[in-house]
Amino acid sequence: MRLLSVMQFSHRLAGRRLRGRILTYAFASATLLVYVAALAALDAEQNVPGASIRNIGDALWWAVVTITGTGYGDLVPVTFVGKLVGVGLMVGGLAIVGVIAASFATWMIEQLGNRVAEQAEVAETETQSEVAVLTEQVRRLTDLIESQLPAPEPERPRSP
C-alpha cells in the first residue's frame, strides 16, 4: 500500500512538472509569436498609404488582439503580406491559446478531483465508524433477545 501511495504522489508531481513546462513553453511561444508577427506586420504595413499599423506599439497591439481572438478591428493590415501574417498569427494563436486553456482546465479538474477524493475519504471513514457502532448495537440487541427467549426444547424423534 505504501508503494501505491508513493507511486500516486510521484505521478501527481510529474504531472505538475509537465504541465508547468507546457505552460512555460506555451507562454514563451505566444510571446515570441506576438513579437515576430508584430515586426513582420510592421515591416509590411508601415510605409503603405492607408495602413493603420504604423509603429511598433500599433503592431504589438494588433498582434495581441489578433492572437487572443478578440479582433477589435481598430488596426487591420491592408497589404497581402500583412494579411498573411495575420492568418498565421490567428492559426498559431488558436493552437497556443488552446494549449494554455487545456492546461488550465486540466489543473482545475485535478484540483476538483483532489477535493472530491478528500471528501470521499472523510465520508468513508465516517461511514465505517457508523457501521462499527451499528454492528455493536446489533450484537448487543441479539444477545439481549437471546437472553430473554426461553431455551429451545430438544427435538423429539418422529415416529414413522
Domain ranges of the chain: 14-143
The average confidence (pLDDT) of the chain is 85
Q: Which three cell numbers stand for residue 100?
A: 494554455
Average pLDDT over residues 126-138: 91
**Architecture of the structural domain at 14-143:** Orthogonal Bundle (1.10)
Q: Using one digit for the tens of pLDDT, what is the confidence trace for 114-130? A: 777 778 888 888 888 89
Cell 498559431 belongs to 92
What is the structure's pLDDT at 105?
Answer: 85
CA angle, corner 35, sides to 76 and 108, nearest 5? 95
Question: Number of helices (H) and strands (E), helices first, in the chain?
Answer: 3, 0
